[in-house]
Amino acid sequence: MKLTDYKEKVIHFIAIGGCSMSGLAILLHQMGFKYIQGSDSADGKALVPLREMGMTIFVGHDAKQVENAELVVYSAAISESNCELHRARELGIPCLRRDELLGLISKLSRECIAIAGTHGKTTTTGMTAQIFEEAGRDPVIHMGGSLPLIGSSVKLGHGEAFITEACEYVDSFLALHPTCAVVLNIDADHLDYFKNMENIKKSFAQYMSQVSPDGLVIGCGDDENTFKLMQACGRRFASYGLSAENDYHAENVTFSPEGYPSYDFYKGDKKLCRVNLSIVGRVNVLNSQAALICAMEHGIDLETALKALADFKGAGRRFELRGVYNGAKVYHDYGHHPAEVAATIAASAPIEKNRLWVVYQPALFSRTRAQFDRLAQCFKGADKVIIIDIYGSREPFDPGINSKMLVDEVVKKTGQDCIYIPTMQEAAEYLKAHLEPGDLCLTMGSGTVDKLDGFIFN
């Protein structure tokens, strides 16, 4: 398919309100595609800029809404039973999955920098994009959260580089053919699709093999799965981490009272610089190394890259301050996998505070079941834990797994102060009655829990 053939044709997005889907719609609009429309199951703030650009937006799904379309784009969350997708196929309208469209857009740039990994993709994509922006490279950007520097999750630059988050779910990242592929880590996730760890590793191996023959793979050498696959990928690679055995590594890590890390950055046994970050978390000592290596490999000088990293304040829904209630700071983080939850709690440890509250919304019944034992032990370090009902999203209700079962297992395994509160509104009322000055509250999950602060502050 030649994407530019559709510039004068009607393109319909099913589930246009999703972060990546709305971003792709905006990119097409900026590229001069004239007739973009879409539908979503619910109205929301993500749809506001789309309407302002003149796109027709339908709230709710109806088969009639695709009948004028000449191309349909749908997200991985949309099943074949969706009435709009079913009607489009009946009418013979070409249908593209979200990742297929992303792959077509990436081919329009000379360089494709794709950032993959089970955890940390959005933050690392944001760091890399910030560096390229401040270096004047004017990249095309596509990421899963808003980058404050550009005020959006996407940007149609006119430089040579396309910088994108590369999601492994349903093998989406295999639609890309990067010139530079970053792999942050490889962990057990999306088991509803992959079934087991071996299938996940096979997909990441395929992703690495799709790097252009003269391209580069950048990966965390401290992550055993990533390092083994890099060694076997048949492409030039650069490893990083905390171990001096990597090509690049960090030493002398320290934290400010706000929880921001600093470290000495080495190539081999040569110290290159001191790195100062303005976001929390030891994990970002790793993520920022990936961004720095990517910058240096693309000819960006260290001084510019270091300034950009110091300027980077994070991406939307990644340890994002949402407000202050009764002297307690309320943050939101998209982390939903047990490793992400544990890393985010650890990131808050150096921050001066009274008590740490965590409000967690499990994502998907299948994921909660598959990660049950790990979830029960990932809240260590939190003083108070609230778990609300599971966000089912694309799955049917499963009566065999629920949040109350997870709460009971947390208490049994760790003895933590963990309670079950079904709804966000009830959780917000509980927090309003119990938050004290100096507390830090983290709402966590990939579903709708990011809206909880609206109940607290309204």
**Positions marked catalytic:** 121-122, 165
Tell me how crowded residue 63 is: count the other CB atoms within 10 A of its CB: 15
Residue 408 near residue 298, CB atoms below 8 Å: no
Cα–Cα distance measured from residue 82 to residue 176, given in angstroms and rounded to the nearest whole number: 26
Question: Hunting for tokens 């004047």 — which residue is that?
Answer: 136
Residue 341 near residue 378, CB atoms below 8 Å: yes
Residue 420 near residue 361, CB atoms below 8 Å: no
Please enumerate in sequence order all residues whose Cβ is within 8 A of that of 378, keeping only pairs 6 or more positions apart, or say none: 338, 339, 341, 342, 345
Q: Which of 314, 345, 445, 346 is nearest to 387 (CA)?
A: 445
Residue 327 near residue 354, CB atoms below 8 Å: no
Sheet holding 384-387, edge to edge: 320-325, 328-333, 440-444, 356-360, 384-387, 418-420
Residues in the chain: 458
CA separation, residue 360 to residues 42, 110, 350, 402, 440 (Å): 22, 41, 21, 13, 14
Q: State the DSSP string of 3-58.
A: GGGGTTSEEEEETTTSHHHHHHHHHHHHTT--EEEEEESS--GGGHHHHHTT-EEE
Q: Collapsing DSSP states into helix, strand and coil, what is residue 259?
A: coil
Cα–Cα distance measured from residue 422 to residue 189, given in angstroms and rounded to the nearest whole number: 25
Q: Which of 102, 118, 135 is nearest to 294 (CA)?
A: 135
Q: Which helix (H) or strand (E) covers residue 329, if one does? A: strand 328-333
Q: Collapsing DSSP states into helix, strand and coil, what is residue 135?
A: coil
Q: Which of 188, 243, 109, 209 is nearest to 374 (CA)?
A: 188
Cα–Cα distance measured from residue 99 to residue 417, given in angstroms and rounded to the nearest whole number: 41
